[in-house]
Amino acid sequence: LKGSCTESVRGSVLDLLLLPASSCVPSHKGMGLTVVGSSPFLFAASPPIKSIPHSFLSQDPMVKNGLKCLRNASSIVTGIYTQALLAYVYSLAGDGSRRDSLLAKLDQQAIKSGGQIHWSWKPAQLPAQDSWSQAMSVDVELTAYMLMALLMMENVTKEDIAFATGIVTWLTKQQNAYGGFASTQDTIVALQALARYGAVTFIRSGDITMTVRSGNSFQHSFHVETANQLVLQQLPLPDIPGEYTLHATGTGCVYVQVRDSHPAGLPGGCQRRLQCSVQRRGWDMTPFTCTKGGVWSLPSSYEGRRNTSNMAIIEVKMLSGFHPVQGTNSYVSPFPSPPLDKDTQTYSFTMSQDVPVRDLKPAAIKVYDYYQPDEQSMVEYTDPCQQGEWETAFLGGGHAIPVQLV
């Protein structure tokens, strides 16, 4: 951190720690205190906590004063997110007794299934039934803080590591094909937690052979040892769909991920609480070629139980042969979009065709809640030069939207 950024973090810490212990940290809606809906003082404290190095947290007298404030208020904490964040803070501060007390309470709220362990802000919610389901961002972040609370103490036991392995199993299943999670914020915290797990469980010497088989027709072996333990090894599977088995021999630990790459269609059964359609304006209708750019507008709104969504993201996949035009609202603007409400808000972008493509396949536009990605909607669009003036796009769940191409 340099310059004003350092001053900002330091200033946040000072704002937190110089408040009287009786008042601790006041509620502040602008910092997102209503996101988890409990014990707002700690949520306000979380930005500086995430940015404070361990040595500063354990030695600085002002930070010690802030910890005293948190300890005095700990007895009133009931929210699961706040308890997890407090456990992480106590782990950083070396306060093992308070950390263990909170971890014991949180263990009773853990969701354990199939060797996986995680925590949920809304544990009563029904499990998703489709493969497009994604854990809520706050659940990923909450579980990551629990993992760090377990592993940030100096003396990590074998029992801690065994329990943490179940958490890591769940966290890694929430990663997308690029290694990220539901949002930027939970990705940062989750990767930090996974890195800590990797550091704690690191074995300098290891030798593992991982063999992939499919019946009698295919077999391939990966060998992982000290010399190549940080090298990514990958292999395309020859038969999809197909049944494959993995067999490991040796000593150590390896991480195996299977990635399915295919053209994205529209999912079924998604929670259609965000509405999105697409319109095209000002297009050259020359048969088989569209050499001029067009402006696309995206009317969007929120249809869920709340008054507004959280921050919404609109992702637009380009048609084959097209690219967004720089300097002409080439991306959805503003990006990311503010929360959507019941009133329709319209965003626009411009794109141009580089290469004419016959039999052009539709591309997808997706709008989703940044923190609750299961609240999403998708719509397909295509080139009217090949498809005519009107198309029908389908949202998940079989809801049809007429898309006018002007």
* Region of poorest pLDDT, from 67-81, 272-286, 356-370, 373-387: 272-286
Pairing status of strand 363-369 against strand 308-316: antiparallel
Mean per-residue pLDDT for 270-295?
Answer: 44
- Taken in order of first residue, the domains within the chain and their CATH numbers are 3-200 (1.50.10.20), 207-251 (2.20.210), 274-404 (2.60.40.690)
As a three-state string, the secondary structure of 186-253 is HHHHHHHHHHHHHHHCCCCCCEEEEEEEECCCEEEEEEEEHHHCCCCCCCCCCCCCCCCEEEEEEECC
Is pLDDT at 328 greater than 70 in this prediction? Answer: no
- C-alpha 109/C-alpha 88 separation (Å) is 17
Burial status of residue 20 (CB atoms within 10 A of its CB: 0-12, 13-18, 19 or more): exposed
Residues 289-303 have pLDDT tens digits of 344 456 777 777 777
Count of C-beta atoms within a 10 Å radius of residue 36: 19
* Local confidence band at 17 (pLDDT 50, 70, 90 cut-offs): very low
Phi-psi domain of 94 (left: phi exceeds 0; alpha: psi -120 through 50; beta: other): left
Confidence at residue 79, expressed as pLDDT on a 0 to 100 scale = 84
* 281: helix, strand or coil: strand
Residues 366-376 have pLDDT tens digits of 888 777 777 77
Confidence at residue 138, expressed as pLDDT on a 0 to 100 scale = 87
More confident residue, 127 or 393: 127
Residues 118-155 have pLDDT tens digits of 999 876 554 444 444 567 888 999 999 999 999 998 88
List 294's β-bridge partners, or say none. 351
pLDDT > 90: what percent of the chain? 21
* Local confidence band at 110 (pLDDT 50, 70, 90 cut-offs): very high
- Give yes or no for a contact between 172 and 218, defined as CB atoms under 8 angstroms apart: no
Confidence at residue 76, expressed as pLDDT on a 0 to 100 scale = 75
- C-alpha 277/C-alpha 298 separation (Å) is 6
Q: What is the largest CA-CA distance in the chain?
A: 74
CA torsion through residues 158, 163, 166, 168, sign: negative
More confident residue, 327 or 103: 103
- C-alpha 29/C-alpha 260 separation (Å) is 40
Is pLDDT at 216 greater than 90 in this prediction? Answer: no
Residue 1 structure tokens? 């951190």
Number of helices and strands in the chain (H, E): 10, 16
